[in-house]
């Protein structure tokens, strides 16, 4: 019997340096090559110019008194300044705190105080969000907050001017006192109940994870990586920015927030070789009217991650976008984030139906959720990971850290997985999303994959809702292709009949234009379940189940 355990063997060693030192090495090797392109403004940076601006921001922050260990918040959609602040804080040893652009006053105040943010960099406004006004409202209630810098205003310009006039030798001295194991980043996990927790990550955590994501994507200085996913999350700032800069590749920012047309235009205009996105982003791009008229022949690879990747969508990404080497990555914020990844040499079947194998220098296992004992291969259980990527802990919350990371430093993910005989892993859902219908364990992911084969369904999510007879019943939320006829529950049941076990066939169907989502592209099933109770009039049943 082979157990569901695997370790990532690699001939390429881990990087033992800080993010700042790694950037300096890249600049020395590729000074004249493109480092960053911001499509919205038309601005471009070579590595040489990028390094100069990073140093200017770092020295400007240093002049304000920002020092090693201080928390610097960044609250903005994707822009060049976000990336400059990311690397500038790393050079100072300050801890960058990523603030979700969707946050409002209550959440902003919580993060500013929970992390003890000293300096906040923010965009003044974006779309309907008046960031400056919200900061002004909460600032009196945030005693640690000393400085607020609004991008594009006089304060930001003054910071840059002061930094450009500063002594670069100061940064060299600061760098000499930094360790790769120092905390460098706090990312707040998307809390579905209560307040989010701040996953605290080191240089070693995120630099290596970004580097090995890039290694497995085959990056070098010729690559141009289109990053429409948010920088505030690991997908953008680690798998995007750090993967690129650790290989001398170029980051292309297609727009401040995801726009399918702008993303595809950026890929074509900048001859991007790699494109990132969560499944819903790729679905939007595949349905973009301008797609067929664009030359995307430069695309070679990319990453689909953030939530389970539908098989049919993955196949279309390979066929219609030409991303023949596209990878699936699996991970979580607390693990920097990637734990497994498909490889370019993997068969199409493995790249569309698994999340790949263990990442270099990491360990993974699948355990019985109740006992923690590693299960045999082919047996479902909870996915756990261990290694350099596991966070230092939740900021200022040792009890919650101990709940997530055991004494042997294994991170328990809360995800259900199966490891096959060759070490490939399939994520079958969240433990908390599993539906128990009349004593049968039902995994929504299996049903969702089947629903994608319906000719009119472009996206599907399955949840459990309260039921007096069975305890829980299945409800499918679906998005339909343009022009499709209305889909009834009866019609969907007919489609499933004889192809799914009777207890896996959804009783209810709800057609939507979009799903409730986090900014990182994860579907909020907790919110869907709450809304479903109202939609179906199941309030009394739901109340009975909780008494």
pLDDT of 194: 56
Distance CA 444, CA 485 (A): 24
pLDDT of 306: 73
Q: Is residue 459 part of a domain?
A: yes
Q: Is residue 187 part of a domain?
A: no
Is the separation of the CB atoms in 538 and 462 below 8 Å?
Answer: no
Distance CA 166, CA 169 (A): 9
Distance CA 369, CA 431 (A): 9
**Residues pairing with 121 in the sheet:** 74, 149
Q: Is residue 81 part of a domain?
A: no
How far is the first Cα of the chain from the last one, in angstroms, to the nearest whole number?
A: 44
Q: Is residue 404 part of a domain?
A: no
The residue with greater pLDDT, 54 or 437, is 54
Helix (H) or strand (E) holding 114: helix 105-114
pLDDT of 308: 66
Distance CA 106, CA 85 (A): 24
E-strand stretches of 305-438: 327-331, 338-341, 357-358, 362-367, 381-387, 393-394, 411-419, 425-430, 435-437
What CATH number corresponds to the domain at position 524? Answer: 3.30.300.30
pLDDT at residue 430 tops 90: no
* Omega of the bond leading into 337 within 30 degrees of 0 (cis): yes
pLDDT of 532: 94
Is the separation of the CB atoms in 19 and 95 below 8 Å?
Answer: no
List C-alpha distances in Å: 454 to 203, 479, 544.
45, 11, 35
pLDDT tens string 131-159: 999 999 999 999 999 999 999 999 999 99
Helix (H) or strand (E) holding 183: strand 183-188
Q: Is residue 295 part of a domain?
A: no
Q: Is residue 541 part of a domain?
A: yes
Q: Is residue 119 part of a domain?
A: no
pLDDT at residue 543 tops 80: no
Name the region of 148 (left: φ>0; alpha: ψ -120 to 50; beta: rest): beta
pLDDT tens string 150-189: 999 999 999 999 999 999 999 999 999 999 999 999 999 8
Percentage of residues of the chain with pLDDT beyond 90: 82
Helix, strand, coil distribution of the chain in percent, nearest 5: 35, 25, 40
pLDDT tens string 228-286: 999 999 999 999 999 999 999 999 999 999 999 999 999 999 999 999 998 889 999 99
Residue 450 belongs to domain spanning: 434-545
Q: Is residue 509 part of a domain?
A: yes
Three-state SS at 544: helix
Number of domains in the chain: 1
pLDDT of 544: 46
């Amino acid at each position: 019997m082979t157990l569901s355990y695997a370790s990532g063997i690699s001939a390429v060693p881990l990087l033992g340096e800080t993010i700042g030192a790694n950037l300096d090495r890249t600049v020395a090797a590729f000074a004249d090559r493109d480092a960053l392109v911001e499509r919205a403004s038309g601005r471009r940076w070579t590595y040489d110019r990028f390094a100069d601006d990073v140093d200017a921001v770092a020295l400007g922050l240093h002049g304000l008194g920002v020092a090693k260990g201080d928390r610097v918040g960044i609250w903005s959609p994707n822009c060049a300044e976000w990336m400059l602040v990311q690397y500038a804080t790393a050079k100072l040893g300050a801890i960058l705190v990523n603030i979700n652009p969707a946050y409002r006053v209550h959440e902003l105040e919580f993060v500013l105080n929970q992390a003890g943010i000293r300096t906040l960099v923010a965009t003044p406004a974006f779309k309907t969000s008046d960031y400056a006004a919200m900061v002004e409202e909460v600032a009196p209630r945030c005693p640690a907050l000393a400085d607020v810098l609004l991008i594009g205003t006089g304060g930001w310009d003054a910071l840059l001017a002061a930094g450009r006039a500063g002594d670069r030798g100061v940064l060299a001295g600061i760098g000499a006192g930094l360790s790769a194991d120092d905390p460098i980043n706090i990312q707040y996990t998307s809390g579905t109940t209560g307040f989010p927790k701040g996953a605290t990550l080191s240089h070693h955590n995120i630099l290596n994870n970004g580097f090995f994501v890039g290694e497995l994507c085959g990056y070098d200085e010729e690559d141009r990586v289109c990053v429409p996913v948010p920088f505030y999350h690991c997908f953008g700032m680690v798998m995007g920015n750090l993967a690129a800069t650790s290989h001398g590749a170029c980051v292309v920012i297609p727009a401040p927030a995801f726009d399918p047309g702008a993303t595809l235009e950026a890929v074509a205009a900048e001859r991007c070789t790699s494109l990132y996105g969560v499944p819903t982003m790729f679905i939007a791009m595949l349905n973009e009217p301008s797609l067929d008229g664009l030359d995307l022949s430069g695309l070679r690879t990319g990453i689909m991650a953030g939530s389970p990747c539908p098989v049919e969508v993955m196949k279309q990404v390979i066929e219609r976008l030409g991303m023949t080497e596209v990878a699936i990555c699996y991970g979580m914020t607390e693990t920097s984030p990637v734990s497994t990844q498909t490889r370019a040499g993997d068969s199409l079947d493995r790249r569309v139906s698994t999340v790949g194998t263990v990442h270099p220098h990491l360990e993974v296992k699948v355990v019985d959720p109740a006992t923690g004992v590693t299960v045999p291969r082919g047996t479902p259980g909870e996915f756990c990971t261990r290694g350099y990527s596991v966070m230092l802990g939740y900021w200022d919350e040792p009890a919650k850290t101990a709940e997530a990371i055991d004494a042997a430093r294994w991170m328990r993910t809360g995800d259900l997985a199966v490891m096959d005989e060759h070490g490939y892993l399939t994520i079958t859902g969240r433990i908390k999303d599993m539906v128990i219908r009349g004593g049968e364990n039902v995994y929504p992911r299996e049903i969702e994959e089947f629903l994608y084969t319906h000719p009119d369904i472009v996206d599907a999510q399955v949840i459990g809702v309260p039921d007096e007879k069975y305890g829980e019943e299945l409800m499918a939320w679906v998005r339909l292709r343009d022009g499709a006829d209305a889909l009834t529950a009866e019609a969907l049941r007919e489609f499933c009949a004889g192809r799914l076990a009777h207890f896996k066939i959804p009783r209810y169907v709800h057609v939507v234009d979009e799903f409730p989502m986090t900014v990182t592209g994860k579907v909020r099933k907790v919110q869907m379940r709450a809304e479903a109770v109202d939609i179906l009039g199941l309030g009394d049943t739901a109340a009975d189940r909780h008494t």
